[in-house]
Amino acid sequence: MKKLIIYGFETKEQFRIQFTNFLKKYGGFGLKDSKNLLDRMLDGIPIEFEIPEHHIIEVSEILDKLNMKYIIS
């Protein structure tokens, strides 16, 4: 497992619905929790969760398309 930390959107164009769906799929969060995490992230609190190593490339590609600032460690 690798730790994923998402800091926020890099650009003004924000893909909020797609990002919420990303959190549901890869973070295992429900819709309400995903929306709350998004709101907290927009307030400056990073989102942290673990992802399996075999999802790293897929997750990175999705986050890049969504214009996200993130770190995988």
pLDDT score recorded for residue 8: 97
Do the Cβ atoms of 59 and 3 come closer than 8 Å? no
H or E element: which one contains 3?
strand 2-9
For residue range 7-61, what is the model confidence (pLDDT) as tens digits?
Answer: 999 998 899 999 999 999 999 999 999 999 999 999 999 999 999 999 999 999 9
pLDDT score recorded for residue 41: 97
Q: Among candidates 14, 49, 44, 19, which has minimal Cα distance to 34?
A: 19
pLDDT score recorded for residue 13: 87
